[in-house]
Structure 1
Amino acid sequence: MSPTPIRITVGELVARFLEACGVQAAFGVISIHNMPILDAFHRRQQLRFVSARGEAGACNMADAYARVSGTLGVCVTSTGTGCGNAAGAMVEAITAGTPLLHLTGQIESPFLDRDLGYIHEHPAQLAMLKSVGKDAFRIRNPETALATLREAVRLAFTPPCGPVSIEIPIDVQKMEMDLPADLAPLAVPPVQPDLAAVDVLAERLLKAQRPLLWLGGGARGAVAAVDRFVKMGFAIVTSVQGRGIVAEDHPQTLGSYNLQKPSEQFYETVDAMLAVGTRLRSNETLNYRLKLPATRYRIDANALADGRGYTNEFFLSGDAQLTLDALADRLEGRMKIDPQLTRDVQSARAESATLVDGTLGPYVKLKNTLAEVAGKHIWWVRDITLSNSMWGNRAPVLDHPRAGVHALGGGIGQGLAMGVGAAIANTEHGLGRKTLSLCGDGGFMLNVGELACAAQEQADVVFIVMNDQRYGVIKNIQDDIYGSRHAYVELHTPDFAQLCASLKVKHLALADPAHSKAVLTEALAASGPVVVEVDMAAWGPFAAKFAGPPKKKD
């Protein structure tokens, strides 16, 4: 006699499937259109649900959680307006290539797609979700629920990775079904390189005496293989998304000082550049006018990356770790690398860092003190703010391929929520690092409600809020292009000390560069959320004006 099957709802199937995927935390906002799912989370108590104050923040949290943990990010939203609130954060996730599952509700099935003006319905929700992610699906009945969940997660992890949405009508979430015997997600095999093509690339690289690896976010899983190239003597430079694949204090790396003039001069001496898992993005190549080495090769899991941004003499499609390992097998012991190469890297790095420091004025004290006090054992989260553009994208030194989390798509206001997501990932996965989030006052206020979420969750994160009471970059652009007509950039900001006190969040004022070490040391020693407010009016201006992404001057 066969055992009586266990009956579960589709909402509980979602919870059990996420557990089978190894998800330990999810983020979202509870609503009447996702309660069967969240009720299952609550009853099972197998994963932590973080109640964000808005869907945009929840999705940014899930994004950062995935980037830091290396696992699936999960965001749960309501239907209609609630789902739409997450759209901007979805764009950030697809820009960054983050594997993320967005679960959203939908109205009752009998009323769907009938243009009835039904409350909470977004008549083109699925089309909207397809436009801001890799794909979007609707679960129409219990029989197809598991297959849809599996396919969505498979797509999210298939290079180029990105967010995938599933909408589940509220009546379907409540429907019952037999518990499947197997809830395992589908395997996502890595893209295997063509070994004959690896042979060709190896023969070309053997001719190089001053080779350079440019590493992007797609190479974050290839630390071990990259280390073999470092040991062979290759020089290294990274995109901002590739920071920490090689520890940035290693003598053979430029870190992400990838577009400064000394680095460009160094590129002229390189006889072969191998770009791995990078899009060579516009703001890291002076709008594609940065003079890169004349001989360029490329490895990417995405076959469509061939020739994008910059031409290449040879392209090889494959997983970064597998392809670099196969290449190293053919190169180790055979390369004849110029012994001067490492010294030239060190010189270019030092000159580039000096140039950057020269633009900072008093804020070089903040940069250097932060590096001294925090060290390398951190998650370094950044919003799009003046300080990040000027120094945060290159300092402090990072030594982990997932240590850098930033708003890659250029949207402001995402750093606060990302800091929470990174801190939750650190706690839930036992990663043992401190989370720091660099924010501007304008961006911080955009999602300031998530500071309440940080307090409720006791997220262990230090927010460094650079308060100049304005959109600093925009004001500089107005000075540079619009005759100093300062329109709509001055901001009314709260008394952050009082705001933090009302939320029971620790607040530390930093009005004097001389107090940087004491204040940052106290902040890092505290547990739970801490806001360090840097009074930029008291500190004074930067030594140079940053007016948007740098471009090549004719």
Structure 2
Amino acid sequence: MSDYNVGDLVAEFLALCGVTTAFGVVSVHNIPMLDGIGRRNAIRYVMGRGELGISHMADGYARVTGGLGVMFSSTGPGAANGVAGLVEARFAGSPVLHITGQTATKFVDRGMGTVHDVPDQLGMLKSVSKAAFRVRSAQQALGVLTRAAVTALTPPMGPVSVEVPIDIQRTPIARPASFDNFTLPLAPPLAPAAAELDELVARVLAAKRPMLWLGNGARHAGAAARALLDLGFGMVTSWNGRGVVPEDHPMTMGALNGNGSAAVLEFYAGCDLMVVAGSRLRGHETGDFTVKLPPLAQIDVDPMANGRTYAPDCFVRGDALPTLAALAERVRGRLVVDPAFAADFQAAKARAQEDFRANLGPYSSFPAQLRAVMPRDALWVRDITLNNSTWGNRLFPVYGPRDSVYPVGAGIGLGLHLGIGAALGAGARKTVMMSGDGGFFLNVTELWTAVQENADMVMIVMNDRGYGVIKHIQDSLYGGRRFFGDLLAPDLQQLAALAGIPSWKVTQAERFGETVAQAIAHRGPSLVEVDMTAIGAFPPYFPYDRKQS
């Protein structure tokens, strides 16, 4: 009888897919797979404290590496604990591969009360994943795993779940001969149809003040985007598409893409075309579609993107990279841009940045202070917090397409976990994570995962002792009645001491950058607490900066 089983196949399959790190919680229904990983010693296995944390860690890892973020969960309640991370990975278009167990096949879906057995676990996972599969026999395992990995990595990317029943994990099988020369059968990037590209080229050649809006689906298209900027285009990005072109390039505004910015909206009114590539033009970033955009031409691999939010005048089905590259080649030497366009763009950019800074109160210098001390290639990870929803998402410059990680679905409490995953995928680069106190304490037990793995990350906690943004919403919409937003929490300096990591406390705004610099110089996890009660209240930001009825 073979001593190679399906659990071994799972472990070897992941290594052959290029996976070097996986995140998980060991449990009764995944031990054979984790035993295979442990015995091979080819994959770093990160032991999280719970599935909520590891699901976001796998997501953060996938975003900064561009490869699969792998998580192993327990079944039933454990798989349910990981749902939040799958939901966020779906928002972010992140290729997370979630592998979980299942009760023995003879008991599946029969409601017989076996350990961790919940009604329709597969249905639950399908509802929050791009796709979900069950391995129904040992001989099917490789096929299902291959389909799952390819689905996760095929644009539009997203999380995929796989159930492997415990009896199948233990089943002896022959090692697949195909493993000797295995590669994932990924399709090449989708090229645009000739007629659709012709129409796009014609519209661009007719434009005098053309713009790009690039999203997450265009992260890999930086060279093509820069070529179009060299030809005279201006550019903005979605919050999840930041750094496709370094944001110190004079012809990109980065994520200052319009909502709440009079300078940008006024500039848009003078533009005659916006080419959107790999972006959903989400309601969250367009004031629920109230931002008036120039006439649109849209590029997306997903035909369902056509008209889903804004209606384009021209739609091209194709991957952002080959389509933008072909567009640049076709219009080079033929595109005639308004001579005043670049100067007008740069003036609007400068005004938008200054307007934004002017609304930050005592925190107006924080973006510049932090950027000055962070390495250019450092990863910038954030939670949902007042400082991120303002300057962190829009004003702080990002220079690389995989340098920015934040909760796209706007859920609180993800930052620490995303930061750990990012740090473990960062190689030699530093990770800087910013969170509010409310988000940081939501699942603070994963701090010990950062310590155990010696994650090279600085955790900046903006401590206003409660839910600051909720209070702004209550002030704006609910007559200033501030219910249920003040939380009792541990002292952060004592918490850091308990975890055995160095920590600092900022009580003066002008000391922010120099204090973070000390933490950056430390190798491994460290914590910087910003005492917002000492520095001053954070001003309400648009649209909660006014009383509304």
| Secondary structure of 2:178's aligned partner | coil
Tell me the equivalent position of 1:27.
23
Question: What does 1:24-103 correspond to in 2, within 5 Å?
Answer: 24-103=20-99
Confirm or deny: 8 A CA contact 1:476 1:547 kept in the other structure: no
Match of 2:362 in 1: 362
Q: Distance in 1 between matches of 2:335 and 2:25?
A: 55
Aligned to 2:537: 541
| Offset at residue 306 of structure 1 (A) | 0.5
Contact preservation (8 Å) 1:30, 1:77 = yes
Measured after TM superposition, the shift of residue 22 of structure 1 is: 0.6
Q: Which residue of 2 aligns with 1:235?
A: 234
1:307 equivalent in alignment to 2:301: no
| TM-score (norm. length: structure 2) | 0.96
Q: Which amino acid aligns with 1:186?
A: P
Structure 1: how far apart are the matches of 2:393 and 2:214?
A: 15
The 8 Å contact of residues 104 and 168 in structure 1, kept in 2 or not, is answered as yes
Contact 1:283–1:550 under 8 Å retained in 2: no
Residue pair 2:476, 2:545 contacting (<8 A) in 1 also: no
Instruction: Note if 1:222 corresponds to 2:226.
Output: no
Identity, in percent, stands at 46
**Is 1:12 the counterpart of 2:8 in the alignment?**
yes
Query: Residues 221-245 of structure 1: CA distance to partner in whole angstroms, max 9, x if unpaired?
Result: 1112112111111111111111101
Does 188-197 or 498-507 show the bigger shift? 188-197
CA distance in 1 between partners of 2:465 and 2:500 (Å): 23
Residue identity matched to 2:262:
K
**Equivalent-residue separation in structure 2 for 1:140 and 1:19 (angstroms):** 23
Aligned equivalents of 1:462, 1:195: Cα separation in 2: 48
In 1, Cα distance between equivalents of 2:305 and 2:35: 43
- Could you tell me how far apart the structure 1 residues matched to 2:302 and 2:454 are? 39
Q: Would you say the 8 A contact 2:377–2:429 is kept in 1?
A: yes
Instruction: Check whether the contact 1:275–1:296 (CA below 8 A) recurs between aligned residues.
Output: yes
Residue 166 of structure 1: CA displacement? 0.4
Query: Which residue of the partner structure matches residue 323 of structure 1?
Result: 323
Q: 1:464 to 1:389 in 2, by over 3 A?
A: same
Give, in angstroms, the shift of residue 141 of structure 1. 1.5
Partner of 2:394, secondary structure, is: coil
Cα 1:525–1:110, aligned 2, differ >3 Å: closer, same or farther?
A: same
Contact persistence 1:511–1:536 (CA under 8 A)? yes
Indicate the SS of the match to 1:251: coil
CA distance in 2, matches of 1:157, 1:146: 17
CA displacement 1:476-527 (0-9 Å, x = unmatched): 1111111111111001010111111111122111111232233111011001
Cα deviation digits, residues 265-306 of structure 1 (max 9, x gap): 11111111101111111121111010111x210000111100
Equivalent pair of 2:353/2:395 in contact (CA under 8 Å): no
Gaps of 5+ in 2: none
The CA distance in 1 between the partners of 2:83 and 2:12, in whole Å, is 26
Residue 245 (structure 2) aligns with: 246
* Residues 286 and 550 in structure 1, CA contact (< 8 A), matched pair in contact too: no
Give the structure 1 partner of residue 277 of structure 2: 276
Deviates more, 1:531-540 or 1:355-364: 355-364
The unaligned stretches of length 5 or more in structure 1 are none
Residue 186 of structure 1: CA displacement? 2.1
- The letter of the residue matching 1:349 is K
Question: Match for 2:531: what amino acid?
Answer: D
Q: Is the 8 A contact 2:473 2:544 kept in 1?
A: no
Counterparts in 2 of 1:493-512, with a 5 A limit? 493-512=489-508
Helix, strand or coil: the match of 2:274? strand
Residue matched to 2:186: 187
SS of corresponding position for 1:484: coil
What's the secondary structure of 2:365's corresponding residue?
A: helix
CA distance in structure 1 between the partners assigned to 2:177 and 2:191 by the alignment: 31
Q: What is the CA–CA distance in structure 2 between the aligned matches of 1:6 and 1:325, rounded to whole Å?
A: 51
* Mapping of residues 396-415 of structure 1, within 5 Å: 396-415=396-415
> How far apart are the structure 1 equivalents of 2:67 and 2:480?
46
Q: Tell me the equivalent position of 1:492.
A: 488
Q: In structure 2, give the amino acid aligned to 1:330.
A: R
C-alpha change, 1:381 and 1:248, in structure 2 (3 Å) is same
User: Residue 501 of structure 1 aligns to a residue in which SS?
Assistant: helix
Q: In structure 1, what is the equivalent of residue 196 of structure 2?
A: 197
Q: Which of 416, 439, 443 in structure 2 is aligned with 1:447? A: 443
1:7 to partner: Cα distance = 4.7
* 1:115-126 alignment, distance < 5 Å: 115-126=111-122
Shift of 1:547: 6.7
CA-to-aligned-CA distance 1:105-136 (integer Å, 9 cap, x gap): 11122222111122211121100000000111
Q: CA offset at residue 79 of structure 1?
A: 0.1
CA shift for structure 1 position 37? 1.0
Q: Aligned equivalents of 1:134 and 1:242: distance in 2?
A: 20
Matches of 2:84 and 2:542, distance apart in 1: 24
Question: For 1:170-200, what per-residue CA distance to the aligned partner results, in whole angstroms no more than 9, with x for missing partners?
Answer: 1111111110011332223322210221112
Q: Deviation per CA, 1:315-350: give whole Å up to 9, x if none.
A: 000011011111122111111112221111111111
Tell me the amino acid that sits aligned with residue 484 of structure 2.
Y
Q: Which amino acid aligns with 1:279?
A: R
Q: Distance in 2 between matches of 1:367 and 1:33?
A: 46
Deviations 1:135-163 (A, max 9, x none): 11111221000000000111111221100
**2:111 and 2:118 in contact (8 A); partners too:** no
Describe the SS at the equivalent of 2:483: coil
SS at structure 2 position matched to 1:198: helix
Instruction: Classify the secondary structure of the residue corresponding to 1:76.
Output: strand
> In structure 1, what residue type is equivalent to 2:147?
E
- Contact in 2 for aligned 1:101/1:156 (Cα 8 Å): yes
- Asked if 2 retains the 8 angstrom alpha-carbon contact of 1:239 and 1:280, the reply is yes
Other-structure match for 2:349: 349
Q: Counterparts of 2:75 and 2:55 in 1: how far apart (Å)?
A: 14
| Equivalent residue number for residue 528 of structure 2 | 532
SS in 1 for 2:4: strand
Q: Residues of 2 paired with 1:342 and 1:549: CA distance?
A: 33
- Matched with 1:144 is 140
Task: Look up the match of 1:296.
Answer: 296
Cα distance in 2 for residues equivalent to 1:205 and 1:54: 50
Query: Could you tell me which residue of structure 2 aligns to residue 105 of structure 1?
Result: 101
**Secondary structure of the residue that 1:31 maps to in structure 2?**
coil
The one-letter code matched in structure 2 to 1:218 is: G
AA partner of residue 157 (structure 2): C
1:171 to 2:167 alignment: yes
Deviates more, 1:138-147 or 1:116-125: 116-125
Deviation at 1:550, TM superposition (A): 9.2
Question: Which string of whole-angstrom CA distances, capped at 9 and with x for unpartnered residues, describes residues 458-480 of structure 1?
Answer: 00011110111101111111111
Please give the alpha-carbon distance, in whole angstroms, between the structure 1 residues aligned to 2:284 and 2:103.
42
Q: Over the residues paired in the alignment, what is the CA RMSD in angstroms?
A: 1.6
Preserved contact between residue 199 and residue 330 of structure 1 (Cα < 8 Å):
no
**What residue is the counterpart of 2:262 in the other structure?**
261
Q: Displacement, 1:6?
A: 6.5
Aligned counterparts of 1:547 and 1:81: Cα–Cα separation in 2: 39
**Aligned residues of 1:74 and 1:100 also touching (Cα < 8 A):** yes
Are the counterparts in 1 of residues 277 and 298 from structure 2 also a CA contact under 8 Å? yes
The amino acid that maps onto 2:230 is: K
How many pairs align? Answer: 543
The structure 2 residue matched to 1:458, chosen from 445, 454, 473, is 454
